[in-house]
Structure 1
Amino acid sequence: MHIQPLLNYISNFVTLTDEEVDILSSKISCRNYLKGQYVVQQGDICKYEGFVISGCTKTFYVDDAGQEHIIMFSIEDWWVSDMGSFITQTPADFNVQCIENTQLIMFYYDDIEDLYREIPKLERFFRSIVEKGFVAMQKRLVRNFSQTAKERYVYFKNQYPKIEQRIPQYMVASYLGITKEFLSKIKGQLALEE
């Protein structure tokens, strides 16, 4: 299993000894998903957190009218799960689906608890990434309430250029909370301004 990208990511937060790397390696697994496959589905209990080695996923929910609402994308070196379901071990509110063939390193719920006991600094590491995710989600909420759709699109395009190139425009529109037709109109306006 090729876990070096994960180790590189962790090293941004904490330093692991060789022994700790061995313990970590024994508690994770790697899984390949095909484009279109689900990592977790609404109503199922999310049993793991995933670290993306390669590929791209979308996290979304489907409302009572059957409308899909994308809340995030995940690409290499990003995390993916239904965090609420994972933490509480209750049914998921969100779906996580692969937009591309995707390889994940999986941290199962029981193994995470073992890792916290055996390598306490990993608890600090996971707390740090959850805190960063929480702050990013709060900022996104503020943008959704305070910015126009055009401003939100420009932010998305500038902040996540690697993602926009990899996903269909209707998914970008769903993430921004607008129709694909309105997104096309915004892109047309921006092209005229350049």
Structure 2
Amino acid sequence: MHRILDNISKIVSLTPEEQELFIAKTETRHYKAKSIILNAGEICKHSYFVNSGLLRSFNINDNIVEHVLSFACEGWWIGDMYSLLSQKPGNLFIEVLEDAEVVLLSKENQELLYREIPKLERFFRILTENSLVAHQERLMDNLSLSAEDRFEKFCSKYPTLIQKVSQKHIASYIGVTPEFFSKMKARLLKK
């Protein structure tokens, strides 16, 4: 449970009593690899913090093609932000890629914690702002960079994920087919 408190302490400082209240409002669950913890069409009721393991969020388009939106390894948060904030059915799946221990914070408890510990509202605002900036940067990269440049940027930004995530998921994340990714990677290795 210390990992989530360490994550929070990077932005705001909680007293021991506030830490205790925060922990009391969370739930820790263990998931096996390949578990789906959120399905498209469901309302996202939790923010998920990864204590250990690896998760991904993705959607499936009308042509049954998966598009990976994000990964979350230990120390990262993940969720369907549209659904969580609007409390409407979302369009993302969240899948466990390797056995994971995940801390769940319900939308209801998050709102309660905002009232009880106002500095947590600041923490989640900053977390949301950072996420927005990262998604905008990724969108701009997808519009302006070549697939090779997007892959190289992925490798430099997330070096630990290269060994953990399958090539088909990386290909989906950078917006190419697995076949194209394989050929591109072979070209890059020849350089």
The alignment status of 1:49 with 2:47, answered yes or no, reads yes
Correspondence for 2:132: 134
Partner SS, residue 87 of structure 1: helix
2:29 counterpart SS class: strand
Matches within 5 A, 1:77-156: 77-156=75-154
- What is the aligned residue count? 191
Aligned to 2:27: 29
Query: What does the per-residue CA deviation read over 1:117-167, in whole Å, with 9 as the maximum and x for residues that have no partner?
Result: 000000000000000000000000000000000000000011111111101
2:63 is matched with which residue?
A: 65
> What residue identity is the alignment partner of 1:161?
P
- Write the distance in 2 (CA, Å) between the matches of 1:25 and 1:56: 22
Read off the aligned partner of 1:23 and give its amino acid letter: L
Amino acid at match of 2:128: V
Aligned to 1:180: 178
Which residues of structure 1 form unaligned runs of 5+?
Answer: none
Paired residue type of 1:41: N
1:100: how far off? 0.7
CA distance in structure 1 between the partners assigned to 2:103 and 2:14 by the alignment: 18
The Cα shift of 1:18 comes to 0.7
Could you tell me how far apart the structure 2 residues matched to 1:26 and 1:9 are? 17
**Aligned with 1:111: secondary structure?**
helix
Q: CA deviation at 1:179?
A: 1.2
- CA distance, structure 1, for counterparts of residue 31 and residue 124 of structure 2: 24
- Give the aligned partner of residue 39 of structure 1: 37
Instruction: Give distance in 1, aligned partners of 2:48 and 2:65.
Output: 26
Sequence identity percentage: 38
Letter in 1 for 2:91: D
TM superposition shift of 1:184: 1.5
CA RMSD, aligned part only? 0.8
Structure 1 length-normalised TM: 0.96
Runs of at least 5 residues in structure 2 that lack an aligned partner in the other structure: none
Q: What TM-score, normalized by structure 2, do the two folds share?
A: 0.98
Which residue number in structure 2 is paired with residue 10 of structure 1?
8
Choose the corresponding residue for 2:163, options 158, 162, 165. 165
